[in-house]
Amino acid sequence: MLDTHTPPQDGQTGQTGRQAQSLFLGLMGSPYDSDWTTTFFRLLDDTLARGCEVSVWTCGNATSITSRLMHRDPDPIHPDSPSQTCSHSMPSLVTRYLGKYPGNLRWYVCRYCMEERGATQQIDGVEIKLPFSFTTYLNQAEQSLVFGTK
Amino acid sequence: MHHYLIVETQSALASKRLSGISLALEAAEDGSQVSLWLMQDGTQALQSAQDVGLEACCAHANIRVFADAFALNQRGISLAGWPQVESAGIDVFATRLLSTDTRPIWH
C-alpha cells in the first residue's frame, strides 16, 4: 500500500547541481508527426534567452526543419491579416534565432540523413556535418537531450 | 545521487505502455529522485479518471510530477483531480534540465 505524501517544496528535490552553461539538443523525429517541434522551439527560446550555449544536431527527417524549400502558405482565412503568426516557417524561425544569437547557437545538419531524404538545400547559417561528428558536439556540452526517434 | 528528469509525451491511446511513468517508478524505487514531466499528449493521462501508474508516481516520496502548462492550455486539461501534479512553464523545465546533476530522458 502506498502512503500519500506531500510533494517536496522547492529546494527539497535533491538537485544540487549547478546550472549548465552549454546544452546539446539532438533532433531525430519527423517535424510534423507530433508537436515536439513546438516544444523544442519553446525550449530553445528559453535556454538561449538565459545565455546558454546551445548546439542543435538534426538527424533523420529533422534535417528538413532547415530546408530552404519549406514553404508556408498565407493564412487562407485572413490573407490580408497583419498578424505574422501564420506565416512563420520553421526555417525562418531558425534563421531568426541564428541572427539573434550568433555566438550562442550552432545548428548542425547530418549530411547522410540530409542527402538520403533530399533535404540538401539548406538555409544559410547551418553547418552540414558527417554523422561521425555527432559525439564530438555531444561531449562538448555539459547537458544534452535528444528529442524523438529517427 | 542523480536526479532523473523523465519526459512523457505519449498518450495511453498511442502507446500501450506509458514508458515514462513506468521508468519513473523504477528509478524512484532504486532510490533516485525523479521529476516526471507530462508534455504534449502525455498530459492526456490527467484526463483519465483513474491512472494507476500516475497515481503511484504522485504518491511516491521520490517522484515529483509536473505538467506542461502550455500543453494543458492547448488541450483544455484541468488539474482539478490531481492536487499533487504541478503545472509548470518551459522555464521551470529548462532550469531542471540544465542542472548538471540531472539525467534527462525523453519518451
Contacts of A20 in chain B (CB under 8 A): 98-100
Residues 6+ apart with CB under 8 A from B65: A7, B36, B38, B54, B57, B58, B82, B84, B85, B86
Higher pLDDT among residues A99 and A34, named by residue: A99
Interior angle at CA B74, CA B71 and CA B76, nearest 5: 100
Interval A34-74: pLDDT, tens: 899 999 999 999 999 999 999 999 999 999 999 999 877 76
Mutate to test the interface with B, among A9, A50, A143 (most CBs of B within 10 A): A143
CB contacts of B99 in chain A (<8 Å) are 15, 17-20
Q: Which residue of B has its CA nearest to A49?
A: B91
Chain B residues touching residue A143 (CB < 8 angstroms): 97-98, 100, 102, 104
User: Hey, is the C-beta of A134 within 8 angstroms of any chain B C-beta?
Assistant: no
Q: How far apart are CA A107 and CA A134, in angstroms?
A: 12
The closest alpha carbon to B12, from B54, B59, B64, belongs to: B54
Q: How far is A44 from chain B (nearest CA, A)?
A: 9
Q: Does A70 touch chain B (CB under 8 A)?
A: no
Task: Render pLDDT for B21-60 as a digit per residue (tens, 0 to 9).
Answer: 999 999 999 999 999 999 999 999 999 877 889 999 999 9
Computed over every residue of chain A, the mean pLDDT equals 86
Its pTM stands at 0.88
Binary contact (B95, A19; C-beta < 8 A): yes
pLDDT at A8 over 90: no
A105–chain B Cβ distance below 8 A for any pair: no
CA–CA distance, B84 with B71 (Å, rounded to integer) = 18
Which of B25, B100, B102 to substitute to test the interface with A, most A CBs within 10 Å? B100
**pLDDT surpassing 90 at residue A96:** yes
Cβ-defined contact of A46 to B91 (cutoff 8 Å) = yes
